[in-house]
Amino acid sequence: MQNEPMLVLLVEDNPDHAELVIRNLAEHPVPNQVIHLTHGQAALDYLLRREDYADAALSPRPHIILLDLRLPRVDGLQVLQVIKTSESLRQIPVIVLTTSDTEQDSTRAYYNYANSYLVKPLGYEQFRKLIQDIGFYWLSQNKPPHLENL
């Protein structure tokens, strides 16, 4: 087990969904820290180290990104496109976590190199189980990229 917590960037505008994700990941046995941003522009500023996040100490690279598609200011697909076309960001796994179950959205997400596309379940227990499964796979089983030189 590693010494430093796994850093999870959560880009989610729904406060209830964000709270469920944060609370359930906090219970995960792998230490993790969630940075929660509520819109796509903030995510891009954070990842590209602009504006309030220009100092790299204020914007450490996440090990994984949980990205909603329906975001204010900048859409989640646009955020995904920027991440996956950036040489310094593209190796960070991006898990799309959205309410959209449309084939068009999932196809567009994978076309833009999403690492996973998950539809948020409607029920609390199903949502909780999905977050636990995400934590198990992406925090426990998946080998994260080395981010020191990014």
Q: Where are the domains of the chain?
A: 6-139
pLDDT at 1: 41
pLDDT at 144: 72
Neighbouring residues of 93: CB distance < 8 A, sequence distance ≥ 6 = 63, 64, 65, 115, 116, 138, 142, 144, 145
Please state, as a whole number, how many other Cβ atoms lie within 10 Å of the Cβ of residue 107.
11
pLDDT at 147: 60
Write down the CATH superfamily of domain 6-139: Response regulator (3.40.50.2300)
Q: Along the 150 residues of the chain, how does pLDDT read in single tens digits? A: 456 788 999 999 999 999 999 999 998 888 899 999 999 999 999 999 999 999 988 899 999 999 999 999 999 999 999 999 999 999 999 999 999 999 999 999 999 999 999 999 989 999 999 999 998 899 888 887 766 554
DSSP code, position 55: S
DSSP code, position 93: -
pTM of the model as a whole: 0.92
Q: How far apart are CA 143 and CA 59, in angstroms?
A: 21
Q: Around 73, how many Cα atoms within 13 Å sit in the side-chain half-sphere?
A: 13
pLDDT at 141: 86
The distance in angstroms from the start CA to the end CA of the chain is 22
Region class of 121: left (phi > 0), else alpha (psi between -120 and 50), else beta: beta
Phi, psi (5° rounding) for residue 123?
-80, 150
DSSP code, position 96: E
